[in-house]
C-alpha cells in the first residue's frame, strides 16, 4: 500500500474524540475522497497523514514507513488556506522550493522546471511577482501547482476547488488525472464530490467518531447522513 492508516483515534485536550479507530489503505494510484460536515475532522486527518499531527492511537505508513520524516517527504499537503503554505518570496521561488522538497521521494508527475509548471498552470505572468501581492485566486493556484510540482507519492488536498474559477478547476482535474495515471495516490477533502467522482476509487465519510470507508458507489446515497450534499443522480 502507498498510504495506510490503522486504528486512528484523535482528540484535542478537552475536545471530543474523532475517527473512532479508523483504518484504510490506498494502493499505488488510489484516490480517496474525504467527505463530512465542517468540524468532522477532515483537515485534522490530512494533518495526521502528512505527519503534522500525531494520533492518540494508531499509525500511518507511506510505502511501509511510519516515521514522520517519511510522511513529510512522501506527501504533499495543501491546506485550505494557501497563505499558510506558501514559503517563497515570489512565485518562481515557491515552485522551486516545492520541487526541491520532494527531490528524494518523487513519484507521480515527473519533475519539471518552474517555467514548465508555470506554463501548465497559467502562472507565467506572475513568476516574478511577490507572493504577498497575489490575489487569493492566484495564491490558491500557485499553492496547488506547488503541491503537485515535486511529484509526491501521495497528495493531500484540503478543499482544492475553493477559490478557483472554472478554468482553474478544469486544469486541476487534468493534473489529477495525470497524477493518478503515473501511480501517485491522493486523499482529497471536498464538499464538492461530484467534481471528482470519476477519479475516486474509494470514499471516506466522517462524522465525529463515526466513519464509513467504502469502495461501493451505492454507499454514496448516505452522503446526506454525513452532512454532505449528494452527488447529482444519487
**Angle ∠(198,203,204) on CA atoms, nearest 5:** 155
**Model-level pTM?**
0.85
Helix (H, G, I), strand (E, B) or coil at 187: strand
Length of the chain: 234
Q: Residue 192: CA atoms inside 13 Å, Cβ hemisphere, count?
A: 12
pLDDT at 107 over 90: no
Once rounded to an integer, what is the mean pLDDT over residues 91-106?
Answer: 74
Using 50, 70 and 90 to split pLDDT, how confident is the model at 167? Answer: confident
Identify the residue with better confidence: 151 or 208.
208
The whole-chain average pLDDT of the chain stands at 87
Using 50, 70 and 90 to split pLDDT, how confident is the model at 84? Answer: confident
Q: Measured between alpha carbons, how far is residue 71 from residues 3, 29, 59, 77 in Å?
A: 9, 17, 11, 10
- How many CB atoms are closer than 10 A to CB 163? 19
Give the C-alpha separation, 37 to 206, whole Å: 8
Give the C-alpha separation, 159 to 191, whole Å: 7
Query: Is the domain 3-220 a CATH 3.40.50.300 member?
Result: yes
Using 50, 70 and 90 to split pLDDT, how confident is the model at 111? Answer: low
pLDDT of residue 234: 64
* Of 176, 148, 158, 155, nearest in space to 36 by CA: 158
| pLDDT digits 0-9 by tens, 195-215 | 899 999 999 999 988 999 999
* Of 175, 171, 198, 162, nearest in space to 31 by CA: 198
Q: Where are the domains of the chain?
A: 3-220
pLDDT of residue 168: 80
Q: Is the separation of the CB atoms in 161 and 192 below 8 Å? A: yes
DSSP state of 16: P
pLDDT at 5 over 70: yes
| pLDDT digits 0-9 by tens, 20-66 | 899 999 999 999 999 999 989 999 999 999 999 999 999 999 999 99
Amino acid at each position: 500500500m502507498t498510504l495506510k492508516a490503522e486504528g486512528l483515534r484523535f482528540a484535542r485536550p478537552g475536545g471530543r474524540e474523532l475517527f473512532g479507530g479508523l483504518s484504510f489503505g490506498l494502493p499505488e494510484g488510489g484516490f480517496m475522497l474525504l467527505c463530512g460536515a465542517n468540524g468532522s475532522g477532515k483537515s485534522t486527518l490530512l494533518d495526521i497523514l502528512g505527519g503534522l499531527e500525531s494520533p492518540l492511537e494508531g499509525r500511518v505508513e507511506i510505502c511501509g514507513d511510519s516515521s514522520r520524516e517519511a510522511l513529510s517527504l512522501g506527501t504533499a499537503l495543501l491546506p485550505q488556506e494557501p497563505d499558510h503554505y506558501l514559503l517563497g518570496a515570489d512565485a518562481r521561488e515557491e515552485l522551486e522550493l516545492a520541487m526541491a522538497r520532494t527531490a528524494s521521494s518523487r513519484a507521480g508527475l515527473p519533475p519539471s522546471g518552474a517555467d514548465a509548471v508555470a506554463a501548465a498552470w497559467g502562472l507565467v505572468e506572475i513568476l516574478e511577482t511577490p507572493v504577498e501581492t497575489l490575489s487569493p485566486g492566484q495564491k490558491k493556484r500557485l499553492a496547488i501547482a506547488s503541491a503537485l510540482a515535486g511529484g509526491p507519492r501521495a497528495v493531500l488536498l484540503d478543499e482544492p476547488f475553493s477559490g478557483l474559477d472554472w478554468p482553474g478547476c478544469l486544469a486541476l482535474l487534468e493534473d489529477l488525472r495525470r497524477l493518478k495515471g503515473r501511480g501517485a495516490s491522493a486523499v482529497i477533502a471536498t464538499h464538492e464530490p461530484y467534481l471528482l467522482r470519476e477519479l475516486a476509487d474509494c470514499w471516506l465519510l466522517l462524522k465525529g467518531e463515526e466513519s464509513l470507508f467504502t469502495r461501493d458507489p451505492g454507499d454514496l446515497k448516505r452522503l446526506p447522513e454525513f452532512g454532505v450534499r449528494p452527488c447529482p443522480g444519487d
